[in-house]
Amino acid sequence: MNVLLFDYGTGNLHSLGKALELQGARVRTGTAVEAADALVLPGVGAFGAAAARLAAHRYAVRDAVAAGLPVLGICLGMQLLLDGSAEGEGSGLGLVPGSVRRLVAGRVPHMGWNVVRAATNHGPGEPLLRGIDGERFYFANSFAADPADPAAVTATVTHDGDGFPAAIRWGSAAGVQFHPEKSGAAGLRLLRNFLEVCR
């Protein structure tokens, strides 16, 4: 499985790449989506800066995903799957209709471990969460996805009174707001599930 770890100038590429390799993936870092079996958008940084760096590749990524390339967005990478964000200027990929809102929790940012629950209205369930529904994952976010269609929400989390999507899916585009590469065994299982879905 050849996984492209998309490099739009954010951090955390090394630890995420190593976590994917531990699950059997061959990981390449770059921006060319050709010859990739799957695409992972990493998750550290600000929306505006990442959107600006992503702009030149926006249509190539959209076309590849429309042709069936599986994509997993992580934290900021998940937010970039949507149309835009209250955090900053610029356009996301528009793969999941909706936008990104600021958390209204009493404590922002949301930093630390939290329980993720599969959405009850999502039919057969999200394959990324197979075997790990109800587990704790590591979050570091001040903003949250707000999909236009509630059916895009595959898992939820609540932080200090604010409930928001922990995972979303729209076709072959999926995202998680938490960091699986920092979430121990449950996070590695999620990455393994992603690779199994891709296969």
| Count of domains for the chain | 1
By DSSP bridging, strand 162-170 and strand 110-115 are unpaired
Selection from 40, 28, 27, 38 nearest residue 74 by Cα: 40
Those residues with Cβ within 8 angstroms of residue 97's Cβ, 6 or more apart along the chain or in another chain: 82, 83, 147, 148, 149, 152, 170
Rg (CA), the chain: 15
Active site residue 181: yes
d(CA 167, CA 77): 12
Domain of residue 15, residue span? 2-198
Q: Residue 104's domain is classified under what CATH number?
A: 3.40.50.880
Could you give phi then psi for residue 159, rounded to 5 degrees?
-125, 115
Residue of 87, 126, 135, 181 with catalytic role: 181
**Average pLDDT of the chain, as a whole number:** 93
What is the per-residue pLDDT across 20-60, written as a single tens digit (0 to 9) for each?
999 999 999 999 998 899 999 998 889 999 999 999 999 99
pLDDT at 44: 82
Active site residue 179: yes
Active site residue 89: no
Residue of 57, 179, 196, 198 with catalytic role: 179
